[in-house]
Amino acid sequence: MRAPLSWLREYVTVDAPADEIARRLSISSLEVERVIYVGVADVDGNLGRFLVGRVIAVEPHPNADRLRVCHVDVGEGEARQIVCGAWNFEAGATVAVALPGARLPILDVPLDERELRGQHSRGMILAEDEIGLGDDHAGIMVLAEGPEPGTPLVDVLPIHDRVLDVTPTINRVDLLSMVGLAREVSALFDGDFHPPAADDPAIVDREDVDVTVEDFGGCPRYIGRVFRDVSIGPSPQWLRSRLFLAEMRSISNVVDVTNYAMHVWGSPLHAFDRTRLAGARVVVRRARPGEELRTLDGTLRRLTTDDLMITDGERSVALAAIMGGEESEVTAETNEVLLEAANFEPLGILRSSERLALRTAGSNRWEKGVDPYLAEPAAVLASRMIVDLAGARMTGHVDVQSGLPERPVVRLRTDRASRLIGLVVAPDEQRSLLERLEFEVSPEWDVTVPTWRARDVTREVDVIEEVARVVLDRVPHTMPLRRHVRGRLSKDQRLRRLVEDVLVGAGLSEAYTWSLAASDPDSRAIRLPDPMTSDQAILRTTLFPGLIEAARTGLDAGAVDIALFEIARVYLPSDEQLPDEHWRVAGVVAGGYEAVKGVLEVLYAALQLDLRVERGQHSLLHPGKSATTEAGWLGELHPTLLDGVWGAFELDLTTLFAPVPERVVYEDVLTFPAVLQDIAVTVDEDVEAGALVDAAREAAGPLLREARVFDVYRGEQVGHGRKSVAIHLAFQSPERTLTEEEATAFRDEIVALLVERFGAELRA
Amino acid sequence: MQREVREFVATCHLAKGALVTSLTLMDPQALENDARAAVADASSTDDVERIRVEYLGRKSQLKLALREVRDRETGMALNALRERLAAAIDGREGELARAEIDRRLTEERVDVTMPGSPVRRGHLHLITQIRREVEDIFLGLGYTVVDGREVETTRYNFDALNFPDGHPSRSPLQTLFLDDDTVLRTETSPAQIRTMEAQGPPVYIVSLGRVYRRDTPDATHTPTFHQVEGLVVDEGITLADLMGTLDYLLKALFGEARRTEFRTHHFPFTEPSIEAHVSCHMCDGSGCPVCRHSGWIEIGGAGMVDPKLFEFVGYDSDRYTGFAFGWGLERIAVLRHGIPDLRELWRNDPRLLSQF
Ligand SMILES: [Zn+2]
């Protein structure tokens, strides 16, 4: 919302400059997006060069058909000659004049006295767009009669102003009004608050106003007022200017009045051409099935039975609280007006405006819950202005309502307020700031909430917030006492970091891929009923497709030696409401099975685990080059998935971490040296190296400290279908030095078992 | 092994010279003169080694003579000769070795600007780095880290957090639903509720992770992003404690020179609610494009835990008070590291990953 300060200062007396008002408001009340500087500059007496003038005489320009020569009294005794190109005024008009030397926002240099086609011109009669008060350039501004010639223009029009662009939070719809903002400023600066107090026009030639509310749930209050002899016309310049600065378009006096009163009080109003209402009645009800309405913006709206309608008993004339209908619109020919100052329930309005994708200044307020009491002052102000500006008579008034809500009463403990805030706020100060916000505070600290805050402030803590926000910039910065804390990561959290670090150290980079995927290898994977896009439709059960996609991004970027991992959750379908969420680590590395096996060996070693694998199958892997572990799988990526040769793995972290020892216990590997022996045996091609190592361990027992395959040889010497496997053996005892003979004995036992179990032949 | 080869060669050489290795025939003085001359002529440590074999090796004249010697006086003389020759050889070898090292040190050079042998290096994702940084800040303050879950019931994601009916977040226009009662969590706060349900006060936790909103991806929005949320519940927790904690966090993240400002706000789950702002780290508050010329940068929401949440989990809201805050990690990445487009954090282009 836009709040011109000149307007605001009409309702609150405060000396603080615009920036200070903006700063305090932004800390204690609402977001101030910016302070907009509008109008003419206030430098070097510039404002003094803008005066009210009265046109004494108008003559044709002798040398130019489009220009006229005016004599304008600006209070100097002698009239000034000013050449003017506008034709929308005659002698006697009150106008706005800029004197030579004036700086205008539209000119780079100060205004000059000059000759225009041979006629001297000592100033300029102003159009509204020339001083930032509008966008109309069809003619000059003709001001209302009243101010004497020579009156500073700034006293009549906001030609030098600051406009606050503010956005309240959803609970502060009361701040979507000039009165609400002025009250807030008065509370923050302890300034005098004087909201507009219009005299309600008297009803003349009283007539009945026929209003029926069929749905009080949707419309708790409806004030209807009737005006006759309405002269629709342009609004006076001051009103046009205020609306312009408040970012509203001037349409006609009556429509402008409804917008103005909404801006002042925050309760939206609507004006109908009463003669367009069948039987001059109003019935508030829900839309009928299949009903349609052409709204003011010219769009034909298809309605549902949830939409609240203003009808004339026969057909809908407005989409309640959102937008009027085209047919009952006030036009230049209108002379009877029905003014609606109602109250609408927020939720239904929100749903209708969301469904119709139609948000207006009105719906923006209603959907947040407008105070039903505000309908009345808004109606009074608008009525006064319609009578004053459109020469109308008010002939009828009705206030249909289902009862207005009670004001909440809350007991406040001022010491609790201080304790919750962490700043001692004296009870007197709490009382005074609450009263400035128009809360009533009894001697016993029963706080009665004003009607416009009744939805938001219902509990003691809500009242404490009122105190807290006003003193917010005085609250000190302290730290909680923290008497019982234990700041450490859980075992799994620590190990997750370790996995990240080890993989990064092994040259893998961490990727982030979406939890939602286009497809998933598990047909039971959970599918969103209404996904945003088909790319993000299924909760993944594997991290893997995302990483393939990431690797592909890398290839497309021309990267070589790509190695990626991710740690994230997968979502496995369960029989419960919520899926099983599991942390996984997965990786994709250039280089095939050996590459990924090497990475996992490093990872397992870092976790103090043995990597044990078995041949396995996985739909995403090369069938001859895939394996499983207790925690997951690894292998060479299926060649159809990605160009090149890639290794891949995915491990469940809970399973992986379960056997990780809490601590590593010292083992004496220093005192007694190991005895090293290597063997090479030939076996059939399908005997796995891991089986040979397992057998070696089985045969030799715990003194075989290390058994590692270091070479596999195939060739004529070993025969077709056979391979030679060389194994490095290290025997070591923590208690004594083993002899060569003992080691040889172990070695012989190993060989014997390999021969027996695998038909191995010893080569060396 | 090399030494044996050298001795073998030296012995052959002697045989060729047809010298008879006999004590009676050996002239110690001549031998010493020959040896010293040879030592003086040696031009490399290899030469010296050959000379050592020739004159002092197992099959040298001197060694043979020593083996045959019978009288003590001759033995002592020959031993003295052996020691003198050994000393001369050692001395010359030392000289030559030093000369050789000197020569290497003067002759050998590398182009120090050439690249080293490649070592593959991986990179933690920027968001992980920020996540750890935030975790460490709070671990240091004594908080624990809670993981929470990502698929949540509306009861934990909305009801327990006091989201009123009709709150925009409850709409399928903003939230991803699995069914009427199940959503992808829209903030990490359900973890706070689950933690409070599982334990009594005091509570000092942070919860970090993925959250989901129905946002069309653009430079500043991705439908999945990361939040950090903190929750403290204890006796005597104040709004001042919240501000002090956030001030500490913001200075840790953006620099000790930063100033913080807290502005009133509104959230369903906190009362009072505030929004934290930090003075712009780019312009230090004087105004620049990063702070949209305001000098301040909005970081995120916070507030005192609403008593309704305590009611939900069965805490005594008269005895305990608490604070909570929740921010996006991506916002820190954008502000502090200048990431221009959040979608890039999910594309995993190696050129971007390897920057951090
Ligand atoms: Zn800045």
Instruction: For residue B159, tell me if it sits in a domain.
Output: yes
**The CATH number of the domain where A246 resides is what?**
3.50.40.10
Per-residue confidence at B24, pLDDT binned at 50, 70, 90? low
Percent of chain A at pLDDT > 90 equals: 89
Instruction: For residue A108, tell me if it sits in a domain.
Output: yes
Residue in chain B closest to A421 (alpha carbons) equals B239
Per-residue confidence at A177, pLDDT binned at 50, 70, 90? very high
Tokens of A341: 């100052």
**Do A729 and A590 share a domain, yes or no?**
no
Positive or negative torsion for Cα B76, B81, B84, B87:
negative
**Do A635 and A510 share a domain, yes or no?**
yes
Instruction: For residue B272, tell me if it sits in a domain.
Output: yes
**Do B258 and B155 share a domain, yes or no?**
yes
Q: Omega of the bond prior to A268 within 30 degrees of 0, cis?
A: no
Percent of chain A at pLDDT > 70 equals: 100
**Do B82 and B26 share a domain, yes or no?**
yes
Count how many pairs of residues, chain A against chain B, have C-beta atoms within 8 Å: 226
Determine the Cα–Cα distance for residues B260 and B278; give it in Å rounded to an integer: 4
pLDDT score for A44: 87
Instruction: Decide if pLDDT at B70 tops 90.
Output: no
Is residue A481 less than 8 Å (CB to CB) from chain B?
A: yes
Span B103-125, average pLDDT: 92
If one counts the domains in chain A, the total is 6
Positive or negative torsion for Cα A143, A147, A149, A152:
negative
**Do B179 and B277 share a domain, yes or no?**
yes
pLDDT score for B25: 61
**Do A525 and A628 share a domain, yes or no?**
yes
Backbone angles phi, psi at A718, to 5 degrees: -100, -10
Determine the Cα–Cα distance for residues A59 and B290; give it in Å rounded to an integer: 57
**Do B158 and B80 share a domain, yes or no?**
no
**Do A219 and A320 share a domain, yes or no?**
yes
**Do B198 and B63 share a domain, yes or no?**
no
Contact B52, B63 (CB under 8 A): no
Tokens of A417: 């307020």
**The CATH number of the domain where A727 resides is what?**
3.30.70.380
Backbone angles phi, psi at A574, to 5 degrees: -135, 180
Is residue B304 less than 8 Å (CB to CB) from chain A?
A: yes
- CA distance, residue A627 to nearest chain B CA (Å): 25
Measured CA distances, A346 to A506, A698, B159 (Å): 58, 77, 20
Q: Which of B90, B76, B62, B227 is nearest to B150 (CA)?
A: B227
Contact A526 B353 (CB under 8 A): no
Q: B261 alpha carbon to ligand 1 midpoint, in Å?
A: 15
Determine the Cα–Cα distance for residues B157 and B182; give it in Å rounded to an integer: 9
Amino acid at residue number A363: S
- CA distance, residue A558 to nearest chain B CA (Å): 9
Instruction: For residue B181, tell me if it sits in a domain.
Output: yes
Instruction: Report pLDDT digits (tens) over A322-332.
Output: 999 999 999 99
Contact A513 B346 (CB under 8 A): yes
Q: B297 alpha carbon to ligand 1 midpoint, in Å?
A: 8
Is residue B24 less than 8 Å (CB to CB) from chain A?
A: no
Tokens of A628: 């499983």
**Do B189 and B314 share a domain, yes or no?**
yes
Residue in chain A closest to B156 (alpha carbons) equals A578
Contact A475 B239 (CB under 8 A): yes
Sequence-ordered list of residues with C-beta below 8 angstroms from that of A567, at least 6 positions apart, any chain: A496, A499, A500, A510, A583, A584, A585, A653
Instruction: Decide if pLDDT at A242 tops 50.
Output: yes
pLDDT score for A135: 85
**Do A270 and A183 share a domain, yes or no?**
no
**Do A151 and A220 share a domain, yes or no?**
no
Instruction: Decide if pLDDT at A12 tops 50.
Output: yes
Instruction: For residue A663, tell me if it sits in a domain.
Output: no
pLDDT score for B182: 96
**Do B102 and B244 share a domain, yes or no?**
no
Instruction: Decide if pLDDT at A747 tops 90.
Output: yes
Span A67-96, average pLDDT: 93
Q: Which of B81, B106, B90, B74 is nearest to B31 (CA)?
A: B81
**Do A496 and A429 share a domain, yes or no?**
no
Range of the domain at B63: 2-107
pLDDT score for B17: 40
Sequence-ordered list of residues with C-beta below 8 angstroms from that of A344, at least 6 positions apart, any chain: A218, A219, A220, A308, A320, A321, A366, A370
Instruction: For residue B116, tell me if it sits in a domain.
Output: no
Per-residue confidence at B5, pLDDT binned at 50, 70, 90? very low
pLDDT score for B26: 75
**The CATH number of the domain where A578 resides is what?**
3.30.930.10
Q: Which of A198, A163, A197, A199 is nearest to A181 (CA)?
A: A163
**Do B204 and B239 share a domain, yes or no?**
yes
Instruction: Decide if pLDDT at B201 tops 60.
Output: yes
Question: Which residue's structure tokens are 């926000």?
Answer: A469
**Do B169 and B204 share a domain, yes or no?**
yes
**Do A324 and A286 share a domain, yes or no?**
yes
Chain centroid to CA A525: how far? 31
Q: Mark A698-719 as b/e (b = at least 16 C-beta within 10 Å).
A: ebbeebbbebeeeeeeeeeebe
**Do A148 and A105 share a domain, yes or no?**
yes
Instruction: Decide if pLDDT at B243 tops 50.
Output: yes
**The CATH number of the domain where B245 resides is what?**
3.30.930.10
**Do A453 and A387 share a domain, yes or no?**
no
Per-residue confidence at B1, pLDDT binned at 50, 70, 90? very low
**Do B158 and B248 share a domain, yes or no?**
yes
Count CB-CB contacts under 10 A for residue A391: 13
**Do A107 and A152 share a domain, yes or no?**
yes
Using the 3D structure, point to which of A379, A401, A423 is the last residue of a domain: A401
Span A485-509, average pLDDT: 96
Instruction: For residue A302, tell me if it sits in a domain.
Output: yes
pLDDT score for A682: 94
Instruction: For residue B191, tell me if it sits in a domain.
Output: yes
Instruction: Decide if pLDDT at B18 tops 70.
Output: no
Span B72-93, average pLDDT: 89
pLDDT score for B236: 96
3-state secondary structure of B44: coil
Q: A22 alpha carbon to ligand 1 midpoint, in Å?
A: 18
Amino acid at residue number A176: L
Beta bridge partners of B304: B323
Instruction: For residue B228, tell me if it sits in a domain.
Output: yes
Instruction: For residue A385, tell me if it sits in a domain.
Output: yes
Percent of chain B at pLDDT > 90 equals: 63
**Do B136 and B182 share a domain, yes or no?**
yes
Instruction: Report pLDDT digits (tens) over A343-367.
Output: 999 999 999 998 999 999 899 999 9
pLDDT score for B71: 84
Which strand (E) or helix (H) includes residue A699? Answer: helix A689-700
Q: B256 alpha carbon to ligand 1 midpoint, in Å?
A: 16
Span B322-351, average pLDDT: 92
Determine the Cα–Cα distance for residues A567 and B224; give it in Å rounded to an integer: 15
Tokens of A259: 């917008």
**Do A247 and A299 share a domain, yes or no?**
yes
Determine the Cα–Cα distance for residues B44 and B46; give it in Å rounded to an integer: 5
Tell me the average pLDDT of chain B. Answer: 89
Contact B138 A487 (CB under 8 A): yes
Q: B209 alpha carbon to ligand 1 midpoint, in Å?
A: 28
- CA distance, residue B263 to nearest chain A CA (Å): 4
Determine the Cα–Cα distance for residues A416 and A406; give it in Å rounded to an integer: 26
Q: Please spell the DSSP secondary structure of A511-522, one letter per residue.
A: ----SEES--SS
Question: Which residue's structure tokens are 């195939």?
Answer: A714
Instruction: Decide if pLDDT at B203 tops 90.
Output: yes
pLDDT score for B11: 42
Contact A737, A673 (CB under 8 A): yes
Q: Please spell the DSSP secondary structure of A596-641, one letter per residue.
A: HHHHHHHHHHHTT-----EE---TTEEEEEEEEETTEEEEEEPTTT
**Do B154 and B77 share a domain, yes or no?**
no
Beta bridge partners of A580: A572
Instruction: For residue B241, tell me if it sits in a domain.
Output: yes
If one counts the domains in chain B, the total is 2
Instruction: For residue A363, tell me if it sits in a domain.
Output: yes
Tokens of A409: 């009463």
Range of the domain at A428: 409-474
Positive or negative torsion for Cα A89, A91, A95, A101:
positive
Interface of B with A in 231-270 (CB under 8 A): 232, 234, 236-241, 243-245, 247-248, 260-266
Sequence-ordered list of residues with C-beta below 8 angstroms from that of B160, at least 6 positions apart, any chain: B190, B193, B309, B312, B313
Name every chain B residue with its beta carbon within 8 A of the beta carbon of A173. none
Instruction: Decide if pLDDT at A439 tops 90.
Output: yes
Residue in chain B closest to A532 (alpha carbons) equals B214
The most confident of A350-359, A428-437, B33-42, B78-87, by mean pLDDT: A428-437
**The CATH number of the domain where A428 resides is what?**
3.30.56.10
Instruction: Report pLDDT digits (tens) over A421-430.
Output: 999 999 999 9
